[in-house]
Amino acid sequence: MAIFTKGIIYALLLTAFWANCAAAEIAPYDLKVFVGRSGAGFQVQASYLVPVNECEAYAFLTDYEGARNIPGIRESKVIDRVGNKVQVERIVEERVLFFPINLRSILEFSEVSDRRLDFTQLEGDAKAYKGSWVLEPEKNGTRFKHHATFELETVIPLFLIKHFLENNTNKRFELMAERAAQQRLESNSGCKKSTFL
């Protein structure tokens, strides 16, 4: 009986070890995402590392109409540009279980510097939406850091929205990182070529 019990304990410890090893694997693009409640709404924080230089990273973030290539964004077009302020009309389509979510908004992006981009919703279907992107140069590329808070006006229970966000946000940011890396390879943006590729 003691040998049998030791065998079960050994198997459980081995399973836990391999589960920890799998969890410890580095996510693609060193992706880190946090989703949490913020009052009546939500906050999303994310960061990922892409092998592009700062100029290429900034060109990717400020390609407002190119955002149509990101899943969930059906339309994205610049409707006004004055100085460092850019107004962008966006239509987002998502589905949370059986509930469709269609959001139209006009966002104002403030190009604060070549390392920071702030945004806020001027009008739209969400009660509130604002956040920022910050670029940080690193040895192997540029780290994209995103922070946003938003509140939706919807009949969908908040726990379902949180579940959807937790299950889909990682994939969304991973696809954005892939797109940034791919765009670097496809474009002749005039940026200096990255020295770390």
Instruction: Give the pLDDT confidence score for residue 96 in this predicted structure.
Output: 66
Percent of the chain with pLDDT over 70: 76
Global pTM reads: 0.78
Res 23: pLDDT: 40
Residue 106, pLDDT above cutoff 50: yes
Sorting pLDDT into bands at 50, 70 and 90, what band is 92?
confident
The CATH class that applies to domain 27-186 reads alpha beta
pLDDT of the residue at 93: 83
* Residue 56: per-residue pLDDT: 94
The pLDDT score that the predictor gives to residue 156 is 67
User: Is 177 in contact with 144 (CB distance < 8 Å)?
Assistant: yes
Beta pairing class for 85-96 and 99-113:
antiparallel
Of residues 33 and 197, more confidence is placed in: 33
Of residues 37 and 46, more confidence is placed in: 46
Residue with tokens 């269609």: 102
Please name every residue paired with 134 in a beta bridge, in sequence order, or none if there are none.
Answer: 116, 145
pLDDT value, residue 105: 93
> How would residue 80 be classed by pLDDT, with cut points 50, 70 and 90?
very high
Residue 144 has a pLDDT of 98
pLDDT beyond 90 at 108: yes
Kindly report each contact of residues 103-108 with a partner whose C-beta sits within 8 Å and lies 24 or more positions away, as own/partner.
103/152, 105/129, 106/79
Least confident among 72-81, 91-100, 175-184: 91-100
Beta bridge partners of 99: 96
Exposure class string for 142-162: b at 16+ Cβ within 10 A, else e: bbbbbbbbbebebeeeeeebe
Q: Is the pLDDT of residue 121 over 70?
A: yes
Give the contacts of 70 (CB within 8 A, at least 6 positions apart).
Answer: 172, 175, 176, 179
Q: What is the identity of the amino acid at 168?
A: N
Q: Domain spans of the chain? A: 27-186
pLDDT at 193 over 80: no
103-107, 133-137, 184-188: segment of lowest average pLDDT: 184-188
| CA distances from residue 53 to 81, 134, 158, 166 in whole angstroms, order as listed | 25, 14, 38, 29
* Average pLDDT taken over every residue of the chain: 80
